[in-house]
Amino acid sequence: MKKLILASSSPRRRELLNQVGLNFSVRRSYADESQITTTDPEEKVKQLATLKGRHVPIHQHDIIISADTVVSYQQKVFEKPKTKEEARQMMTSLSGEIHDVFTGVMIRSIHHEKVFVERTEVEFWPLSQKEIEWYVNTHEPYDKAGGYGIQNLGAVFVKRMNGDYFNVVGLPISRVVRELQTFGVDFTL
């Protein structure tokens, strides 16, 4: 019997796996993410997902899912803002512009490993200073890559999107399910 393990403490990733009816448990990775120093956003999420996935103990029937998401604007990586000023700068940069959201995913068993990156293009409406100040004064920006959550209050900023919505939330769930099938996981059971 295969045992699905999510190597993440992200509540959004847990919600997405629950949404499609997958049974899983959480085994958080405590990898030192500071050792990944690349500034290329696609390579960064690929390396971080791999690092996280390899730092979780694996047993005979386990299938580990690890992921990392970043927002990229003009080749600059926007991770989770630590302060209001960082969140304000991110929102100001993204205002009226197109940016990319990259999620790297690693799926790993004892015998097999698959790493992939999903990219979604997002365009924001031009934002007023009042909108930015309102948003940075909520709790929302500080635990999300790029400083916004498309699935919550940040939805009001999105003018259009090209790609997987769930990728922007934090896990390209339809691709994950299809890749899990190659590991022998039947999500329809």
List, for residues 3-18, the tens digit of each pLDDT value: 999 998 889 999 999 9
**What value does the mean pLDDT take over residues 24-38?**
87
List, for residues 143-183, the tens digit of each pLDDT value: 898 999 999 999 999 999 999 999 999 999 999 999 999 99
- How do beta strands 3-6 and 24-26 pair? parallel
User: How confident is the model at residue 8, as a pLDDT?
Assistant: 87
Catalytic residue among 32, 40, 62, 68: 68
Give the separation between CA 127 and CA 21, rounded to whole angstroms: 37
Give the separation between CA 56 and CA 7, rounded to whole angstroms: 7
| 32 labelled catalytic | no
**C-alpha angle 161/165/170, rounded to 5°?**
125
Structure tokens given for 68: 């990392």
Per-chain mean pLDDT for the chain: 93
- pLDDT tier at 113, thresholds 50, 70, 90: very high
Is residue 29 scored above 70 in pLDDT? Answer: yes
CATH tag, 3-181: 3.90.950.10
Domain range list for the chain = 3-181
Amino acid identity at 153 = L
Is residue 106 scored above 90 in pLDDT? Answer: yes
3-state SS record for 80-131: CCCCHHHHHHHHHHHCCCEEEEEEEEEEECCCCEEEEEEEEEEEECCCCHHH
pTM above the 0.85 mark? Answer: yes
The neighbour count for residue 153, using CB atoms within 10 Å, is 15
